[in-house]
Amino acid sequence: MSSVFEQLDPRDQKWVMEELREILSDPDQANADRRRAELADRLRPDHPDVAAWIEEQDGAEPDERPSLIETLPVDDERISALVGKTVLLKYGGNAMVDESVKQSVIQDICTLKSVGITPVVVHGGGPVISELLGKVGVKSRFIGGHRKTDRTMMAYVEMALSGRVNSEIVKLIGFNGFKSVGISGKDGAMVTAEKRIHKVREGQMVRRSDLGQVGDVKSINTDLVESLIEHDYIPVIAPIGVGEDLEDYNINADMFAGHMAAALGAEALVVLTDVDGIFLDIEQPGTLIPEFTTHAAREEIGRIIQGGMIPKVEACLIALEGGVGRAHIINGMAAHSMLEILLTGRPRGTTVRADNERDDH
């Protein structure tokens, strides 16, 4: 598929490709040329570059996917080391909002699958949750960065995560020619959750806040995910679990991903965010920290590592402590950053490794 062609919304890509296939198979060349010109005219007002590309087509099949492996300086040893292995991808932030970035991320996921790597996707959806709650007039209250969630709000949270975000990812993966199944931690008794009590130290006292139906992962049963992998599906998982009290709990997607990576014995955890990694000074791009040991990462939580980066680093620590080989925090807004960190060896973002591990690939 031409990079110019990717300007189209996925739904428009589908009908345009179907039209082009018919044109390319039309035995009447004069009629085919006429239909090509008409298609270009329809697209020209909103997509002049796509129209020009269609007019220049010389008969190549439009549904042939671009080979990103051929366009990136991949390291064959890195690919070989990951073939047949699981890579847990935590997808969230603005990479889920921007349409072009969303398509790029999905394309990367499918590229991993195409070379024999097993991607498993855990997604967030904060912006979508906030949008839905705004539409229905439900106000959010945050405590320590966590959205306090009652039963009414939890229903909308699940609607946003499972009903909208999850299904959209599954649809886009299918559009790229791969099979996926959207599930949540509730399915197959996958994730048992426990209520999260937010604790803040104030002098000599510890203040505890009940967040409602916000939870932590207590245990994971991977049977369903492993069954989907065995049948060649890409699992796409919403971070919701069920407590032993039978209440549904919204779980931080980063932490959910770290626990899932460990439970699956993943080779790597990749956490997509909106910045290039962890910085000594976020205002100074030259202060990016390319690598942390687990010991250093623990020491710097609350110091260098602050705010929304804390659960991402904690997820990396959970994964590494559970046996995952390496963990990366990268900018999901940067084109193909996921493939670059996994397959090329190019430095991207911040990598967290166990204290005694080095990058041997």
Triad 112, 116, 117: Cα angle to 5°: 50
Task: State mean pLDDT over 26-51.
Answer: 82
Q: For tokens 């839905």, what's the residue?
A: 132
φ and ψ of 244, to 5 deg: -65, -15
Q: Position 280: which residue type?
A: L
Report helix, strand or coil for 311. helix
Domains and CATH numbers, the chain: 5-56 (no CATH), 68-353 (3.40.1160.10)
CB count in 10 Å sphere of residue 37: 13
CA distance 81 to 59: 38
pLDDT in tens, 141-163: 887 677 889 999 999 999 999 99
| Beta-bridge mates of residue 350 | 329
Place of tokens 């080979």: 67
Identity of the residue numbered 308: G
pLDDT for residue 61? 43
* CA distance linking residue 250 with residue 226, whole number of Å: 23
pLDDT tens column, 293-304: 999 999 888 888
How many other CB atoms are there within 10 angstroms of residue 64's CB atom? 9
Q: How many CB atoms lie within 10 A of CB 175?
A: 15
Amino acid at 47: H
pLDDT, tens only, 213-222: 999 999 999 9
**Helix, strand, or coil (residue 198):** strand
The pLDDT value recorded for residue 236 is 98
d(C-alpha 191, C-alpha 235), whole Å: 14
The Cβ of residue 219 has, within 10 Å, a number of other Cβ atoms equal to: 14
Average of pLDDT values for 252-266?
97
- CA atoms of 167 and 15, how far apart (whole Å): 20
CB 236, CB 173: distance < 8 Å: yes
Q: Are 323 and 261 in contact (CB under 8 A)?
A: no
Q: CA of 27: how far to CAs of 32, 33, 297, in Å?
A: 8, 11, 64
Distance in angstroms (rounded) separating the CA atoms of residues 254 and 268: 14
Q: Where are the alpha helices (DSSP H) in 44-180?
A: 48-56, 68-71, 76-82, 99-114, 126-135, 151-158, 167-175
- Lowest-pLDDT range, 19-28, 38-47, 146-155, 183-192? 19-28
Nearest by Cα to 8 from 182, 175, 124: 175
- Residue 216 has which token pair? 């932590």
What's the rounded Cα separation, in Å, for the pair 16 and 39?
Answer: 8
Please give the pLDDT value at position 357.
63
Taking only Cα atoms into account, the Rg of the chain, rounded to an integer number of angstroms, comes to: 22
Q: Above pLDDT 90, what percent of the chain?
A: 55
Instruction: Report the pLDDT averaged over residues 176-191.
Output: 95
- Give residue 344's identity as a one-letter amino acid code: T
Neighbours of 101 (CB within 10 A): 18
CA distance 156 to 171: 21
Phi, psi of 120 (to 5 degrees): -125, 130
pLDDT tier for residue 6 given thresholds of 50, 70 and 90: low
* Res. 358: pLDDT tops 80: no
**Residue 258 in contact with residue 311, Cβ under 8 Å?**
no
As given in the structure block, the two tokens for residue 286 are: 């030259």
Query: What is the rounded average pLDDT of the residues 96-115?
Result: 89
